[in-house]
Amino acid sequence: MYHQWFTSDIEQTDKEIYDVLINELNRGRNGLEMIASENYVSKAVMQAMGSVLTNKYSEGYPGKRYYGGNEFIDVAEQLAIDRAKKLFGADFVNVQSHSGSTANMEAYFALLELGDSILSMSLDQGGHLTHGHKVNFSGKFYKFHFYGVDRKTKMIDMEEVRRIAKEVKPKLILAGFSAYPRELDFKYFKEIADEVDAYLMADIAHIAGLVAAKEHPDPIPHCDIVTTTTHKTLRGPRGAMIMGKEEYETAVNRAVFPGMQGGPLDHIIAAKAVSFKEALQPDFREYAKSIKKNAKALAESLVEHGADVITGGTDNHLLLLDITKYGIGGKQAEKVLDKVGIFTNKNMIPFDTRSPFDPSGIRIGTPALTTRGLGTSEMKEIGELIVRTLANPDDEAILETVKQSVNEMSEQFPLYPGFTLLR
Ligand SMILES: Cc1ncc(COP(=O)(O)O)c(C=O)c1O
């Protein structure tokens, strides 16, 4: 098998990295991955990534390259483009962006001049670093204004977005988030963008898989440009892409190459194509439905066991937990959950009074465990295990009982069972 020869070579030539591969696989196998931005790709996606395509240089686009010998690379990139267009219904797609951050940079570069103003969701209320944080390129190169969530409902108040948009008159409005458990109303965003004569861009990095499966309202008909990572709910390789209306195709393609990037990652683009084909299959729709069902079941269980779930639940693949009542910060919460084998990340909650390095919340997501086959009954159990852990962070005996349950559940749902890496 492919992975047998692949890993056995590494075992001979580079023992240190071989050990990293083994240890990381086993870490995943012995725990529950609940980081909302992570997932498990198929073996087919992994095989495309670990392939001869990594050797090629192919600056340019299919049919228009700066190097020879790209006849097969062109086929892979065109397949990725065609499949992504079919999946999302966009006029054009550029599949070369190396990452979500790069894709956002390229989208801004395509539509804006340096110093132009953008209205986006603030990072401390759910936005992403590339949506204008002052330490990020975005906050340094553009003038950002922010909307957030309502203090009471913790949901986006679209009338407030409209009010701010009218006040600051941004050149671009950005709809997107890294930590928001509810749906985005792209139609409403478009109405506002039209009223203030702004471009509308969506960053669907987190929800792309749900959008592709029609399990989240569709941004494509309303937005000028849509960026997304490919490795979260979409379950493709680490990377990103940019989609949009026909009139922006040339500007986006120029912004990607030669604007921001050199040679594309052809092995990754082939893996994107493989993952898009997977996402076009009917069972991907079932997968996306299950992600949401699992997130809902988890939120219900957490609430049932007394936890403070921000907004009281979730409409998508993630939820935010306010852990204030357990008397610990996000840093300790993440650490103690790690210790019992439940992997989450510390996260700011709206109107957080603590620092981003030790905030009042954790973010929990279901895409990876849903891929692994866990269902709503496991989510119910995990909700209780999370609360038991957070309520007893220093009680080794109790933590041991949780670890035991996590181990049993992990064994019941083997991760990459076909892989022969185990020693
Ligand atoms: C909304 C959003 N946009 C962009 C990114 C950046 O993606 P990457 O980590 O691939 O640069 C993320 C990643 O977490 C994200 O959540």
Give the containing element (helix H, strand E) for 404. Answer: helix 396-412
Name the DSSP class of 213. Answer: T
Residue 3 has pLDDT above 90, yes or no: no
Cis geometry, peptide bond prior to residue 258 (ω within 30 degrees of 0): yes
Count CB atoms within 10 A of the CB of residue 71: 10
The C-alpha atoms of residue 165 and residue 181 are separated, in whole angstroms, by 23
Q: What confidence tens digit (pLDDT) does each residue in 125-149 have?
A: 999 999 999 999 999 999 999 999 9
Name the band, by pLDDT with cuts 50, 70 and 90, for residue 231: very high
Q: What confidence tens digit (pLDDT) does each residue in 87-139 have?
A: 999 999 999 999 999 999 999 999 999 999 999 999 999 999 999 999 999 99
369-381 b/e with 16+ CB inside 10 Å = b? bbbbebebebbbb
Please tell me the residue having the least CA distance from ligand 1 atom 8. 100
The mean pLDDT of 40-52, rounded to a whole number, is 95
Q: Find the 357 Cα to ligand 1 centroid distance in Å.
A: 18
Residue 383 has pLDDT above 70, yes or no: yes
| Burial class of residue 246, CB neighbours in 10 A (0-12, 13-18, 19+) | exposed
How big is the CA angle at 101 (ends 103 and 194), to the nearest 5 degrees? Answer: 60
Provide the residue type at 231 as one letter: H
Q: What is the largest CA-CA distance in the chain?
A: 64
Three-state DSSP class for residue 287? helix
Tokens 């749906």: give the residue.
183
Q: Where in the chain is the domain with CATH 3.90.1150.10?
A: 290-412
The mean pLDDT of 367-396, rounded to a whole number, is 98
What is the CATH code for 48-279? 3.40.640.10
Q: Find the 227 Cα to ligand 1 centroid distance in Å.
A: 10
Residue 7 has pLDDT above 70, yes or no: no
The mean pLDDT of 266-293, rounded to a whole number, is 98
In this prediction, residue 423 carries a pLDDT of 45
Return the C-alpha torsion angle 347, 222, 245, 236, nearest 10.
40
In this prediction, residue 418 carries a pLDDT of 75
What Å distances lie between residue 411 and 32, 402, 404, 416, CA to CA? 11, 14, 11, 12
In this prediction, residue 10 carries a pLDDT of 86
The C-alpha atoms of residue 86 and residue 357 are separated, in whole angstroms, by 41
Name the band, by pLDDT with cuts 50, 70 and 90, for residue 374: very high
Q: So which residues are the catalytic ones?
A: 57, 59, 203, 229, 232, 238
Name the band, by pLDDT with cuts 50, 70 and 90, for residue 4: low
- Residues 6 or more apart in contact with residue 253 via CB below 8 angstroms: 61, 94
What Å distances lie between residue 353 and 89, 157, 320, 321, 348, CA to CA? 42, 21, 16, 15, 9
What Å distances lie between residue 158 and 60, 123, 190, CA to CA? 40, 17, 11
Return the C-alpha torsion angle 208, 214, 220, 226, nearest 10.
0
The C-alpha atoms of residue 30 and residue 33 are separated, in whole angstroms, by 10
Which residues surround ligand 1 with Cβ inside 6 Å? 37, 99-101, 104, 128, 130, 176-178, 203, 205-206, 229, 240
Could you tell me the two tokens for 308? Answer: 């403070």
Name the band, by pLDDT with cuts 50, 70 and 90, for residue 11: confident
In this prediction, residue 55 carries a pLDDT of 97
Q: Find the 412 Cα to ligand 1 centroid distance in Å.
A: 31
**Which of 297, 192, 230 is closest to 80 using CA atoms?**
230
Starting at the edge strand that comes first in sequence, how are the strands of the sheet with 318-322 ordered? 308-309, 318-322, 361-365, 345-347
Q: Where in the chain is the domain with CATH 3.40.640.10?
A: 48-279
Phi first, then psi: give them for residue 176, nearest 5 degrees. 165, 160
Q: Counting every residue, how long is the chain? A: 423
The partner residues of 121 in beta bridges, in order of sequence, read 147
What Å distances lie between residue 52 and 6, 32, 60, CA to CA? 12, 33, 19
| Cut 0.95: pTM above it | yes
In this prediction, residue 102 carries a pLDDT of 98
What atom in ligand 1 is closest to the CA of residue 99?
A: 10
The C-alpha atoms of residue 350 and residue 156 are separated, in whole angstroms, by 11
Residue 86 has pLDDT above 70, yes or no: yes
Average pLDDT, the chain: 96
- For a mutational test of ligand 1's pocket, the pick from 128, 206, 230, 233, i.e. the residue with the most ligand atoms closer than 8 A to its C-beta, is 128
The mean pLDDT of 249-273, rounded to a whole number, is 98
Q: What is the DSSP string of 90-159?
A: -SEEE---SSHHHHHHHHHHHH--TT-EEEEE-GGGT--GGGT-TTSHHHHHSEEEEE-B-TTT-SB-HH
What atom in ligand 1 is closest to the CA of residue 239?
A: 10
How big is the CA angle at 193 (ends 351 and 182), to the nearest 5 degrees? Answer: 40
What architecture (CATH level 2) is domain 290-412? Alpha-Beta Complex (3.90)
Name the DSSP class of 178. Answer: S
In this prediction, residue 325 carries a pLDDT of 98
The mean pLDDT of 55-74, rounded to a whole number, is 98
The C-alpha atoms of residue 279 and residue 213 are separated, in whole angstroms, by 8
Name the band, by pLDDT with cuts 50, 70 and 90, for residue 6: low
The mean pLDDT of 297-301, rounded to a whole number, is 98
Residue 157 has pLDDT above 50, yes or no: yes
Name the band, by pLDDT with cuts 50, 70 and 90, for residue 62: very high
Q: Find the 314 Cα to ligand 1 centroid distance in Å.
A: 20
Residue 1 has pLDDT above 60, yes or no: no
The mean pLDDT of 382-394, rounded to a whole number, is 98
The mean pLDDT of 140-167, rounded to a whole number, is 98
**Which of 366, 187, 230 is closest to 289 using CA atoms?**
366
